[in-house]
Amino acid sequence: MIRRLPWYLAALMLAGFQLYALYLARNPAVDIDYRNYFMTRSSDCWPRAVQDVAVIGQPVRVSASGAFLACGFARPLGWGRWTQGNEARLRLRFTPTTEPLVFRFAAIARAPVAVEVLVNGIIAQHVALQPQGGVFDVALPAGTVLGGQTVIAFRFAEEAPPMGLQWFALERAN
């Protein structure tokens, strides 16, 4: 028994270490975006960091640039990008202003699709998008304009056809 004791202690230490690792695994220290995307998979949208600053009045062609695309967009094609999954997000930073702004975007669809446009997580507009596409304006709340940043999300029903985003811009409302 005495000769076995060090082995029992070694086994106990290893088991303790492994239980500690499992305890850590049960208690992750991650943010809500990571949890929703990687752990529960309740979101199709991984919000990657966006560093660029949008210039008011200057359209951004998404076929040429991935700037401001936070998540949910496929690779660029000649005319723009298709969305992927149930949600696609843009993260815009811009110089704060007191003037009212609108978010303007041009989009097409493979088939008629209903799109919810959310500004900072709140539904701002419902768009019935047709295959021939169109240009749409979404008013930005005054608080967003003063803060100099906003998250625009396009949300779709399950199994809905994707939306093709061609360009977008921040424009003065008047």
Binding string, residues 38-77; x marks residues near other proteins by CB under 8 A: xx-x----x-xx---------------------xx-xx--
By the rule CB under 8 A, 2 interacts with other proteins: no
Residue 49 or 122: which CB sits closer to other proteins? 49
Q: Alpha-carbon distance 128 to 126, whole Å?
A: 7
The strand pair at 87-93 and 101-109 is best described as unpaired
The dihedral of CA 27, 30, 120, 77: what is its sign?
negative
Inter-residue contact 119 to 173 (CB < 8 Å):
no
Q: Which stretches of the chain bind other proteins, using CB under 8 A? A: 4, 7-8, 10-11, 14-15, 17-18, 20-22, 24-25, 28-30, 34, 37-39, 41, 46, 48-49, 71-72, 74-75, 84
